[in-house]
Amino acid sequence: SEEDKRTKTEKSSKKKKNKKKAKKKKKR
C-alpha cells in the first residue's frame, strides 16, 4: 500500500507538470 501511494503521488505530480508544460506551450 505504501508503494502504491508513492506511485499515485508520482503519477499525479507528473500529470501536474505536464499540465504546466502544456499551458506554457499554449501561451507561446
Cα distance between residue 14 and residue 7, in whole Å: 10
Domain count, the chain: 1
C-alpha cell at 18: 505536464
Residue 1 is inside which H or E element, if any?
none
- What confidence category does residue 12 fall into, taking pLDDT thresholds of 50, 70 and 90? confident
Query: pTM of this prediction?
Result: 0.41
User: Quick one: what percent of the chain has pLDDT higher than 90?
Assistant: 7
Q: Which structural domain range is residue 4 located in?
A: 1-28
Cα distance between residue 14 and residue 5, in whole Å: 14
- Mean pLDDT, residues 5-18 taken together: 82
- Mean pLDDT, residues 7-14 taken together: 84
